[in-house]
């Protein structure tokens, strides 16, 4: 099976995989948020000696984003389709979690009086800055006595890099004049991967605090541009498995890189298996689960600081999935329907962009 065949909506269950990955992020964050039994948490937290659960999941998220988003742009080659879907997928769900965090969760858990909380400029900056990806974690007086203090939502950092990858992808698309996107995109994405891997930068921005995540986006993008030629077969898995095993003898970031390349491709293949396709999910609640997970875990710890690690993790997962579903059906799905209507209008008018 080629990657192109695997990307057909009827051929995969990527939706379920993304939900599992979002759950992995919550599991990974448990170590910092609720360190009631650090030895047990350490044992379940680490996928490999050099890769913990949350980091592993986010890197694979970036891979699938690059794979699916570049594939969509390559197939449709339309500006309005690209940006309507990107904007409607990111911002409505993000605004919901930011608004609830600032004006419902914040007042419930702040150590300040309500009057002082609502006149504090930091409350409004939290919403204003985070909605444009200028990440701020602090709300006045909120979670200041938690084991992981003062951070309301530690998952927000990735959105800046994700959105930056969207912008870079679109710029590359423009300079390729659409017609040459496959080859111009391949060239520039490879240059970006090299820049990230060897210089720890993404277009002159330091990646020291969030290293290497965009690498997987552009790696996925390269595969998307050549999806008709790359086959998910034993030869590919054999080569990447050997690289993964050899990576255990290499230093960072190469051990993590070889490890993740294998798992990115393996998970893509796994989504095409009969078993996973039988568990098909029509509604993608993973983004909401990812956005809500951290703030829910912080709230649980504030309410029940002596709650056991497993109980904390399970309750956080259940609540986050429920809130992710709420976000999807009430905010995200209607927004995506608007994006589809905009796209259909553009395609029906044959606009030359």
The mean pLDDT of 127-152, rounded to a whole number, is 96
Is 135 inside a domain boundary? yes
Q: How far apart are CA 156 and CA 134, in angstroms?
A: 9
Q: Looking at the 3D structure of the chain, how many domains does it have?
A: 1
Residue burial 305-342, b: 16+ Cβ < 10 Å; e: rest: eebebeebbeebbebbbebbeebbeebbbebbeebeeb
pLDDT band at residue 256, thresholds of 50, 70 and 90?
A: confident
The whole-number pLDDT of residue 102 equals 97
- The sign one gets for the Cα dihedral 306, 311, 313, 316 is negative
Query: Is the pLDDT at 58 greater than 70, yes or no?
Result: yes
pTM score of the predicted model = 0.93
Instruction: Considering only CA atoms, give the Rg of the chain.
Output: 21
The whole-number pLDDT of residue 309 equals 86
**Lowest mean pLDDT: which of 12-26, 156-170, 209-223?**
209-223
Q: How far apart are CA 53 and CA 58, in angstroms?
A: 9
Is 113 inside a domain boundary? yes
Is 353 inside a domain boundary? no
Is 26 inside a domain boundary? yes
pLDDT tens, position by position, 234-250: 899 999 999 899 888 88
Is 301 inside a domain boundary? yes
Instruction: Give, to the nearest 10 degrees, the angle between helix 213-225 and helix 181-199.
Output: 160
Q: Are strands 51-52 and 205-206 parallel, antiparallel or unpaired?
A: unpaired
The whole-number pLDDT of residue 250 equals 82
Domain of 139?
A: 3-347
Higher pLDDT, 275 or 298: 298
pLDDT band at residue 344, thresholds of 50, 70 and 90?
A: confident
Helices (H), the chain: 3-6, 14-33, 38-45, 53-76, 79-100, 106-109, 114-119, 121-130, 157-175, 181-199, 213-225, 234-247, 254-270, 274-278, 286-303, 309-327, 333-349
Is 280 inside a domain boundary? yes
Is 185 inside a domain boundary? yes
Query: Is the pLDDT at 104 greater than 60, yes or no?
Result: yes
Query: Is the pLDDT at 42 greater than 80, yes or no?
Result: no
Query: Is the pLDDT at 352 greater than 60, yes or no?
Result: no
Query: Is the pLDDT at 204 greater than 80, yes or no?
Result: no
> What is the chain's mean pLDDT, rounded?
90
Is residue 258 within 8 Å of 68, Cβ to Cβ?
A: no
Is 211 inside a domain boundary? yes
Q: Work out the burial of residue 196: count CB atoms within 10 Å of its CB; fewer than 13 is exposed, 13-18 middle, 19 or more buried.
A: buried
């Amino acid at each position: 099976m080629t990657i192109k065949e695997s990307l057909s909506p009827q051929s995969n269950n990527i939706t379920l995989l993304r939900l599992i990955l979002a759950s992995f992020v919550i599991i990974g964050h448990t170590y910092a948020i609720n360190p009631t039994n650090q030895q047990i948490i350490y044992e379940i937290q680490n996928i490999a000696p050099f890769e913990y659960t949350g980091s592993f999941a986010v890197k694979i998220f970036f891979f699938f984003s690059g794979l699916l988003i570049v594939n969509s742009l390559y197939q449709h080659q339309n500006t309005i389709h690209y940006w309507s879907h990107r904007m409607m997928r990111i911002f409505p769900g993000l605004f919901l979690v930011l608004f609830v965090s600032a004006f419902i969760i914040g007042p419930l858990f702040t150590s300040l009086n309500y009057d002082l909380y609502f006149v504090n400029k930091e409350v409004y900056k939290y919403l204003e800055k985070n909605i444009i990806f200028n990440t701020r974690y602090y709300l006045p007086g909120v979670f200041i006595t938690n084991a992981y203090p003062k951070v309301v939502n530690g998952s927000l950092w990735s959105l800046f890099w994700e959105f930056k990858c969207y912008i870079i992808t679109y710029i590359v698309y423009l300079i390729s004049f659409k017609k040459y996107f496959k080859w111009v995109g391949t060239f520039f994405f490879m240059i970006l991967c090299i820049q990230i891997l060897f210089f720890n930068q993404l277009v002159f921005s330091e990646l020291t605090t969030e290293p290497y995540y965009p690498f997987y986006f552009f790696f996925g993008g390269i595969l998307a541009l050549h999806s008709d030629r790359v086959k998910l077969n034993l030869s590919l898995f054999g080569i990447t498995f050997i690289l993964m095993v050899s990576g255990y003898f290499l230093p960072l970031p190469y051990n993590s890189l070889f490890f993740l390349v294998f798992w990115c491709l393996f998970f893509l293949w796994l989504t095409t298996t009969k078993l996973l396709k039988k568990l098909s999910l029509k509604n993608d609640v993973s983004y909401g689960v990812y956005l809500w997970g951290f703030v829910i875990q912080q709230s649980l710890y504030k309410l029940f600081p002596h709650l056991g690690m497993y109980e904390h993790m399970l309750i956080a997962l259940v609540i986050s999935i429920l809130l992710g579903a709420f976000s999807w059906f009430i905010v995200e799905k209607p927004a995506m329907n608007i994006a589809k209507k905009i796209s259909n209008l553009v395609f029906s008018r044959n606009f030359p962009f």
